[in-house]
Structure 1
Amino acid sequence: MSSYLDGGGGCRKRRRGGERIFKFKSFGENGCPVEFDGSFRNNVKALVEYGNLEMNLCNDGVLCWTFQLEVHRHPPLNVLLFVVEEPVRASSINLHCKHCRYVGWGNHMICNKKYHFLLPSKDTVASCFNCDETNSYESNPEKGKLNLVELKGHIMHGVFHSNGFGHLLCVNGMEMGSDQLAGYQITEFWDRLCTGLQARKVSLCDTSRKRGMELRLLYGVAYGHPWFGRWGYKFGRGCYGVNKPIYQKAIEAIQGIPLCLLNHHLSISNNEVSVIFSRYQALSDHSIVTLGDLLHFMLKLRSRLPEENITSSCNPTTVETNCRWSPKRVEAATRVIVEALKNREFRWVSRQEVRDAARAYIGDTGLLDFVLKSLGNHIVGNYLVRRCLNPVTKVLEYCLEDISTVFPNSEALIMNNSKAKPRNKITKVQLMKDIGYLYKHILNDQKPTMSTGVLSAIPMATRIILDTKFLLKEYTEEQLPIRGNSFKLFCTVTLRNNEGIDEGSKKPMLPYECVSFNENTTFDELRQEVEKCFREVYWRLRSFVVEAVANMSVKGSDLVVGSVEMGQKLVFIGSNDDQIGSEDSSGTGIVDCLCGAKEDDGERLISCDICEVWQHTSHALANADADALLNNIEKWVVIMMNLQRFYLGILHIFTCPVVRNNVKVL
């Protein structure tokens, strides 16, 4: 069997005859391998019971389990999932989590344990098990741990704190060297794990790239959300003071830029942009008006386009398999309609007028209606047949556009001409090349022409989108089912201070934890269970003692069932001897940058020697006022929309006879 486990001589010896193999595509779903019906920490404990405990891969106190996952059977391909349980006492160097601090969870208390979920690369697994077989870990006990947790280049590395908050640290698909799994397969696998384990919130730092393009920028313009947005990840936190309203306005500004304006400003110095615009307008069955529409269409086309096959970039009258007209009759009707439009001297003509002119040669009105419906925004010969709705008369109109100058290398597409078929086709390679060209010359262009006039919004909005790296997905905590005689409550705690503040004003300091009990449980027993739960989850609550239940007056001997509703949220007030420590207690100091940032966002900071306040070292937008920036982007959005309407209105006034004849010339 081709897998990680039989890739090398030392690895082959570790195969166990009774080792269970799980399906990669279903691992993490409920029932595979276990029913996930408890809290996060209980679900993890239940999961690792099905794994193989590896005794010699980690340091003392650090446990590791492996799961063999079958990606596909023909050809055979397996991968290994490592689950590493890392107690906080084993993390003396990295006691505080920098990922929590960057994403804005710095106020969270330090948890007792971290759980690392890793899909290592093939070479990492081979070297790790070879190290185990040769007993070299005895001379260097830290080597196993470094190979598993601290090494870079894993196919996937995610980490959870024991309270259910986690971070996806890396996804390396085929673009980054993985020869087994694509990026979307890895992300789907991670999402199943988070859902099954009932994680609370998961963050990630989106630095994904493909062929040199930042995907959070490309997909943000095309879809309005980053690539990870397919799995529900949304804006979590921006760098350099970027907030969610500014981020949304930046996306809207670039998405709404009309192609006609881009073509007007860029075609003088870059004719290839016009060629690309016309090429994909011909492929689309509807008008592509804005840059967001164009990139959305191109990425959707890429997802439908086979790797090796090719698709026609001109198919104006695609004959369906159940079409009652022959291709020859469809082609004849197409040429008649094009000739009728040519006789109108490239003016906009109403659909009825075109239809009446074509009826002198084609008597079948059904055929004419079919061809008129199929012809819109497609290329026939050296002409692009445009179709749009007149904004004044609300009537469909057609117009020819001569594209022989747009395709200087005789790239005009001729319908049903076998000699021209090689030029009628577009491959996925060409499609990605065109996407990369638009990305480079529009979204990533730093030339002076992009920093003045109507296009100055592009570099500014692009910088804002690129500064939004931290994404967040919240996995909703649903009401857990009652199983047999077991009931569940969601409980959290808060600490009583020395001044004895009224219990009703106390706010929870920690996320809610799921606590199970039976129908005969008293409040004293529930209190003990809550103490045990929070002592187990949080490092600084080892001496936590519950004293009362907030907003409730109950006796310790009272039964819980009947006093509270199942699934209710309760707050317990208590005291603790240890000093509370949070994830941001790392000596970063006060962050107060001119860009508006008040917390460490992972970007480079420098401290003032006098006031000891931290600020960003340098950035293009670091000195910009957030409110002024937001207003500036909103202004550009309005300008783009108004210019688009103005352009279309002027076009119809001077080309449409119905409108033009009703305009008084002074």
Structure 2
Amino acid sequence: MAHKRSTSEPTFILSPLCSTYDKYNYNKIHKPMPTPKEPMSTPKPNNIYRFHSFGHPGCPATFSGAFRDNMREFLAHWAQSLANQIEGNPTGLAHLALSQETLILLYVIEEDVRGSPWPHCDHCRCVGWSHHLVSRRRYHFIIVASDQSLCVLHSSTHLLHCLIHCNGFGHLLSLNGRENGSKHLFGHHSMGLWDRICSMLCTRKVTVEDTARKHSMELRLLHSAAYAHPWFSQWGYSFCHGSFCITELRYSMAVKILNQLPLAMLDPQHQDAHLHRIIGKYKTICNSTISTLGQLLRAMLLLNACLPWQKANAAPTMNGSQLVTPSKCMLKKLDNNKVEVRDRARKHIGETGLLDFVLMSLNNCTVGPHLIRRTINRKTKVLEYSLSLVSTELDYCDGEAATKTRKSKSGDHPQNQIQVGRSEVMRDLEYVYKRVLEGGLGGEVVEAARRVVLDTKHLTKEWPISDDDGKLRFMVRMVVEEAGMFSHATTPPELVVLSLHASVGDLRAEAERTLHDTYCVMEGFRDGAAIPRQSGIGMGVWVRGKGAERGAASLKYEGGAKEWRVECECGARDDDGERMVACDLCEVWQHTRCLCIPDAEEVAHLFFCDRRAALS
């Protein structure tokens, strides 16, 4: 019977959007965890770099070579070498100061692929890079959880875990934030650091699988519907490829449908009164026209981001009508400290207990169109309140300047004053998500668009080749003279950097050295000729040679030594990481979903596809 492959569903718990994916972790290669060793002691730092500037030009250095050479230079000069190795791999450490009191440890581990029990990369296989040659080294960039020490490479608790092959192609594997092990870093902090590191070291291309969840919501679906693009697009990540043969055009159309869905099309008979109350509530709070699903979700996410976290305090239960008058009175007295606000409000409201309760309840919340923040003065240690319009705060959070003053349509009547907190916003957000995006309220078109977005998980970012240092850059491809040595027609070219006055002989020698140093199977390759193919930045060159058969034949392609034949009715012709099954006669792989086999259902011990079943 052919081997049955399946991908288990990972679990994700994220902190609130819109500014962060605070819990994004995924480890595609399910490996048995090695027995943890004694935690290594952290050495005294030789150099400390600022967290928010690390990776910028000149911090710690400016690199202009290929990624493989830049990594050697970085580890040799800018990372502190540790005496203890992680799983037998050399380890470097960079100390990053987040503040005067907080130091973040960035571990950089160099893994020798030939000594690894998992030399092939499942991540490359699932994003369409099965034809990449196996690199000799892999580099892991890891920030461990605040209360842990680095003992193993692969762990879902790492705050940041990124893997880059020495050819410059890599994967973002894990990203965790404040809710899951981090005391100081939000998800966007770690993503910003990772993006700067990739730019600094001249990384070629990086992928990420966006399967993050919060509660019961798929965040790639929620964020695409709200903003018309995935969360990772803030750092330049875009469509890589979709599962089940989803194309970029289908994905773009699906996102547009969800983002621009008119609210008037949802429940025109007003059968869902709660949904219409939610829509009316956020129209009143934001003092703006909300006419599409994208505008509604966006307003809720931005408002959620504007409301800081607050701890739950035990307080007496009071209904809204009891709080309307004192809250309205408080709004006119704010922008002062607690004592002044309390004394002025007592002229209109005599009940001191009610005033104190309202003062404590008005912490980081909205009342009508106003956003109320409460802070402690560092000098006087007295509570102080500030007042601003929600519409202004939303413009600020969205990165847009407020170009005009929005006028309230709700008036100043007590029944129009709406007070919401973070928990209520999240409940409303979940209700709209489940009712519209999952509950079928939008009809068949919305359901089809939803399915397309959920089937598009793989995103990628490619960094351009810099050419501002007066050096020559060539993209070198190899032509192997041994017939049948490689089954795939092309592999990604390798970047070779030479001085401005280098000769053709220098190019051939450097190309040969590059191929030896980068790929396991090219250890015996000998160059015979260099043939230019194109001009300009990163000029293309073909290098002809032989001797590749002397390398490690079992470490040829990242996708493994065995050829997979995929012919699914959805149109897929390559492995996309989804659950598949192979026919025991023809050995052709197909998606179990396309065969109407539920994910929770086991595949039969003997499986025959429809074509073979018809013949038999």
- Give the TM-score taking structure 2 as reference length: 0.70
Q: 1:576 and 2:547 equivalent?
A: yes
Letter in 2 for 1:101: R
1:490 paired residue among 474, 477, 488: 474
1:462 paired residue among 444, 450, 457: 450
1:110 paired residue among 119, 134, 154: 134
Instruction: Judge conservation of contact 1:201–1:475 (CA < 8 Å) in 2.
Output: yes
- Match for residue 274 of structure 1? 276
Superposition pairs of residues 174-189 of structure 1, within 5 angstroms: 174-189=178-193
Q: 1:536 and 2:517 equivalent?
A: yes
- Match for residue 47 of structure 1? 74
Letter in 2 for 1:56: N
2:54 paired residue among 27, 30, 52: 27
Query: 1:573 Cα shift?
Result: 2.4
> 2: CA distance between counterparts of 1:11 and 1:499?
51
2:566 paired residue among 571, 591, 600: 591
For residues 180-237 of structure 1, give each alpha carbon's deviation from its aligned partner in whole angstroms, at most 9, with x where no partner exists.
2111111111111111111111001111223432211111001111111111111111
Letter in 2 for 1:100: C
1:218 paired residue among 218, 222, 237: 222
- Match for residue 347 of structure 1? none
Instruction: Judge conservation of contact 1:68–1:80 (CA < 8 Å) in 2.
Output: yes
For residues 258-288 of structure 1, give each alpha carbon's deviation from its aligned partner in whole angstroms, at most 9, with x where no partner exists.
11121425x31x3111011111122334422
Instruction: Judge conservation of contact 2:51–2:193 (CA < 8 Å) in 1.
Output: yes
SS of equivalent to 2:98: strand
Flag the structure with larger Rg. Answer: 1
- Match for residue 435 of structure 1? 429
Q: 1:516 and 2:498 equivalent?
A: yes
For residues 37-73 of structure 1, give each alpha carbon's deviation from its aligned partner in whole angstroms, at most 9, with x where no partner exists.
221112211211222212222355x211111221111
Q: 1:526 and 2:507 equivalent?
A: yes
Query: 1:305 Cα shift?
Result: 4.0
Instruction: Judge conservation of contact 1:109–1:581 (CA < 8 Å) in 2.
Output: yes
Instruction: Judge conservation of contact 2:475–2:538 (CA < 8 Å) in 1.
Output: no
Superposition pairs of residues 593-612 of structure 1, within 5 angstroms: 593-612=568-587
Instruction: Judge conservation of contact 1:255–1:292 (CA < 8 Å) in 2.
Output: yes
- Match for residue 162 of structure 1? 166
- Match for residue 6 of structure 2? none
> 1: CA distance between counterparts of 2:596 and 2:232?
25
Instruction: Judge conservation of contact 1:27–1:33 (CA < 8 Å) in 2.
Output: yes
Cα separation, partners in 2 of 1:111 and 1:509, compared to 1, 3 Å: same
> 1: CA distance between counterparts of 2:220 and 2:50?
31
Give the number of the structure whose residues are more often helix, by fraction.
1
Letter in 1 for 2:234: R
SS of equivalent to 1:596: coil
Instruction: Judge conservation of contact 1:88–1:113 (CA < 8 Å) in 2.
Output: yes
Cα separation, partners in 2 of 1:434 and 1:119, compared to 1, 3 Å: same
Aligned length: 468
1:474 paired residue among 452, 455, 462: 462
- Match for residue 115 of structure 2? 90
> 1: CA distance between counterparts of 2:42 and 2:594?
52
Moved more, 276-285 or 189-198: 276-285
Query: 1:82 Cα shift?
Result: 0.8
Cα separation, partners in 2 of 1:474 and 1:564, compared to 1, 3 Å: closer
Query: 1:499 Cα shift?
Result: 7.8
Instruction: Judge conservation of contact 2:206–2:461 (CA < 8 Å) in 1.
Output: yes
Superposition pairs of residues 34-73 of structure 1, within 5 angstroms: 34-49=61-76, 50-60=78-88, 62-73=89-100
Query: 1:469 Cα shift?
Result: 0.8
SS of equivalent to 1:612: coil
Letter in 2 for 1:272: H
Letter in 1 for 2:275: V
Instruction: Judge conservation of contact 1:480–1:488 (CA < 8 Å) in 2.
Output: no
- Greater relative contact order structure (CA < 8 Å, 6+ sep): 2
Cα separation, partners in 2 of 1:306 and 1:172, compared to 1, 3 Å: closer
- Match for residue 404 of structure 1? none
Query: 1:439 Cα shift?
Result: 1.1
- Match for residue 396 of structure 1? none
Superposition pairs of residues 302-321 of structure 1, within 5 angstroms: 302-307=304-309, 308-314=363-369
Q: 1:119 and 2:101 equivalent?
A: no
> 1: CA distance between counterparts of 2:589 and 2:274?
46
- Match for residue 656 of structure 1? none
Superposition pairs of residues 625-636 of structure 1, within 5 angstroms: none
For residues 451-496 of structure 1, give each alpha carbon's deviation from its aligned partner in whole angstroms, at most 9, with x where no partner exists.
xxx62222222122111111111111121412xxxx3322312214
- Give the TM-score taking structure 1 as reference length: 0.65
Gaps of 5+ in 1: 1-9, 129-146, 316-371, 383-410, 414-422, 501-505, 553-562, 624-666
Instruction: Judge conservation of contact 1:491–1:530 (CA < 8 Å) in 2.
Output: no
For residues 125-171 of structure 1, give each alpha carbon's deviation from its aligned partner in whole angstroms, at most 9, with x where no partner exists.
1xx5xxxxxxxxxxxxxxxxxx3312331111000000100100010
Cα separation, partners in 2 of 1:545 and 1:222, compared to 1, 3 Å: same
SS of equivalent to 1:591: coil
Q: 1:379 and 2:422 equivalent?
A: no
- Match for residue 207 of structure 2? 203
Query: 1:256 Cα shift?
Result: 2.5
Gaps of 5+ in 2: 1-37, 310-362, 371-403, 599-616
- Match for residue 315 of structure 2? none
